Amino acid sequence: MSQNQNILKEVKPKLLALVEELVAKGAERSAVIYMIEKESTQLRDPVDDRSDRQIDEPSNDWPAAGRSQ
C-alpha cells in the first residue's frame, strides 16, 4: 500500500471525530455533515473571490471631461 493510501485512511476517523466533537457541543449531526459537504465542495471547486467584486472605474469628473473639442 502506498504512503498516500495510508495517509488517506486517516480522513474518515478524523471526520468522525470532528462530527462527534461538534455534536457534543450541541450541533445537530445532520447540520454538521451538511457543512462538511458544503466546505468540501468549495475546497474541490474554489470560487474566484474576485468575481463578485465591483470594479472601480476612474471618475470622469475632471474639469475638461464635460467639454467637447
pLDDT at 3 over 70: yes
Tens digits of residue pLDDT in 19-63: 999 999 999 999 999 999 999 999 987 765 555 556 666 666 666
Nearest C-alpha neighbor of 28 from the set 19, 36, 41: 19
Query: Rounded to two decimals, what is the model's pTM?
Result: 0.60
Annotated domain spans of the chain = 3-45
